[in-house]
Amino acid sequence: MTFSAVEIESPVGKLTLIADEKSLRGVLWENDELLPKFLAKKTKAAKNLILSRAKKQLHEYFSGKRKTFDIPIHFEGTKFQKRVWNSLRKIPYGKTQSYSGLAKTVGSPKACRAVGAANSKNPISIFVPCHRVIGADGKLVGFGGGLNNKEVLLNLESSWNGA
């Protein structure tokens, strides 16, 4: 399997989008530990329609014109990680959920730390909104893109959501 990649500038810094011919496989931050794994399989595809669509939808998201994404995605992970990541996709735009709430949602109410670990391994940031998960006390905790960027994303969604 080979991947195509494109870098984009965004309000939260440089992001690298990774896709195969059928699905988005990664939205990675500059210092993301998954970046070398994906780029090792990178090819020089002339044009990747998934990347073009993903790039367009991210620009719409950052400008407040898009609240949901309709790009096909593909996860590589354990069954538990995939359950967590799929649950992240159900957190509504402009809303947040605690790690304990997410643990209940995936059917493992005592697995807050495991949910946090799975959340931290989410390879498709923003499209799979791990930034919407917060601490039980409402504080911003843990985010691969950094807490400043988590705050930017949540504020962006809050402002465009009319909250």
Q: What pLDDT sits at residue 161?
A: 62
% of the chain with per-residue pLDDT over 70: 88
Q: Clarify whether 130 is annotated catalytic.
A: yes
Q: Which of 23, 43, 12 is nearest to 151 (CA)?
A: 12
The model's pLDDT over 99-126, given as tens digits with 9 standing for 90+, comes to: 999 999 989 888 888 998 998 889 999 9
Over 80: is that where the pLDDT of 5 sits?
yes
Pairing of strands 97-98, 133-134: parallel
Side chain identity, residue 95 = K
* End-to-end CA separation in angstroms for the chain: 43
Given a contact cutoff of 8 angstroms between Cβ atoms, the answer to whether 119 and 133 are in contact is: yes
Instruction: Spot the catalytic one: 115, 124, 130, 133.
Output: 130
% of the chain with per-residue pLDDT over 90: 53
pTM of the model: 0.88
Q: What b/e string do you get for 19-30 counting C-beta neighbours within 10 Å, with b at 16 or more?
A: bbeeebbbbbbe
The model's pLDDT over 17-62, given as tens digits with 9 standing for 90+, comes to: 999 889 999 998 887 666 666 665 666 555 889 999 999 999 999 9
As beta bridge partners, residue 17 has: 6, 27
Q: At 135, is the pLDDT very low, low, confident or very high (cuts 50, 70, 90)?
A: confident
